Amino acid sequence: MLDPVQSSRLEVQIAGVQFKNPVIGASGTFGYGLEFADLIDLDRLGGFSTKGLSARPLAGNPPPRIVETHGGMLNAIGLQNVGARAFIEDKLPLIRKYDTRVIANVFGYSDDDYLEAVSILNEGDGIALYELNISCPNVKEGGIVIGNDERAAARLTEKVKRISHRPLIVKLSPNVADIARIARAIVQAGADALSLINTVVGMSIDVNTCKPRLNYGTGGLSGPAIRPIAVRMVYEVAAAVKVPLLGMGGIAAAQDALEFMIAGATAVQIGTANYYDPRVTMKVIDGLESYCRDRSIEQITSIVGSLSFPH
Ligand SMILES: Cc1cc2nc3c(=O)[nH]c(=O)nc-3n(C[C@H](O)[C@H](O)[C@H](O)COP(=O)(O)O)c2cc1C
């Protein structure tokens, strides 16, 4: 008999890429994967998304860059990363030893920055997909500006799609009035899949100093506090587009991951929970496996978008 952990019922496909299960470490909370090699069995993980990679290395914002809030955290890291070249030369050869899907998360301050980063990453061996971060709230230009403007987002998607050697996921911002509208424009421009949500812009104030608790002022809220917003947005986007969705925002248990899948996500990403429970991805995989087994679900894909209303 197959070990339940090795069974194929958790397999999912995203843009033609097969994942052994739908559990993926979220960008910015999972380093370059290698940081988790001693903490979890990376070979059991569906995949992970790297910290946002830019054409050149970035130092990020000055500290304090992270503060804890009720049910979550605010961050304003500002896209610190080793740069696309160092990633393919120093990190990828080590990551390739593991049997897990690597998603390269890409960031730029302009369309040309994104294109330059993707053309460098195209040379790397072992990347399954790209995830375009057009939704980071912690930088003053680039990403977020593009992600809030459907025409700019569509234009960038089209340009990247043209040069990309890999399927393209575009990551959506929740800090918009109508996420379904932006999702449609990006899919029409050629995105193969969408991921959502990035962090929700927030602020926290130290009442003794009357200063923001983050040096940057505002930050991106993540963790369980944002989960209902994220589930609602996945539901709205699933109704608007046909491409696969990768849902995230506050997932800390299998139950949470299931909410996203029932709302319409083919896979899920887990971010903030890794900080307080580095083994959370393994627990979610086990929980999904039990859920399927207990309900005799042969393929987890059968629950994707299965939400039904009481009337
Ligand atoms: C410290 C930190 C850094 C992040 N960096 C990135 C990043 O580089 N690129 C990106 O697309 N998303 C980034 N994110 C957003 C997460 O990938 C995820 O979309 C968000 O945190 C919601 O999921 P969660 O509540 O499970 O953390 C970051 C989040 C955190 C907390």
Local confidence pLDDT in tens for the 311 residues of the chain: 444 455 799 999 999 999 999 999 999 999 999 999 999 999 999 999 999 999 999 888 899 999 999 999 999 988 889 999 999 999 999 999 999 999 999 999 889 999 999 999 999 999 999 999 997 666 555 556 788 899 999 999 999 999 999 999 999 999 999 999 999 999 999 999 999 999 999 999 999 999 999 999 999 999 999 999 999 999 999 999 999 999 999 999 999 999 999 999 999 999 999 999 999 999 999 999 999 999 999 999 999 999 999 87
Instruction: Judge if the beta carbon of residue 147 lies within 6 A of ligand 1.
Output: no
Annotation says 136 is catalytic: yes
* Cβ pair 233, 197 in contact under 8 A: yes
Q: Give the global pTM.
A: 0.96
Q: Taking the CA of residue 122 as centre, how many other CA atoms within 13 Å lie in the half-sphere pointing to its CB?
A: 16
Contact call for residues 86 and 149 (beta carbons, < 8 A): no
What is the model's pLDDT at position 2? 45
Q: Which two tokens stand for residue 213?
A: 């608790």
Choosing from 121, 136, 189, 252, the catalytic residue is 136
State which ligand 1 atom lies nearest to the alpha carbon of 171: 11
Gap between the Cα atoms of 233 and 159, Å rounded: 26
pLDDT of 137 reads 64
**Ligand 1: which of 23, 24, 29 to mutate, most ligand atoms within 8 Å of CB?**
29
Q: Tell the residue nearest (CA) to atom 9 of ligand 1.
A: 52
Measured CA to CA, the distance from residue 166 to residue 121 in angstroms comes to 10
54 CB near ligand 1 (under 6 Å): no
What's the confidence (pLDDT) of residue 4? 47
Q: Which atom of ligand 1 is nearest to the CA of 222?
A: 25
Atom of ligand 1 nearest to the CA of 75: 1
What is residue 51's predicted lDDT score, i.e. its pLDDT? 93
Residue 248's pLDDT is 98
Minimal-distance CA residue to ligand 1 atom 18:
198
Helix axes 150-163, 111-121, angle to 10 degrees: 30
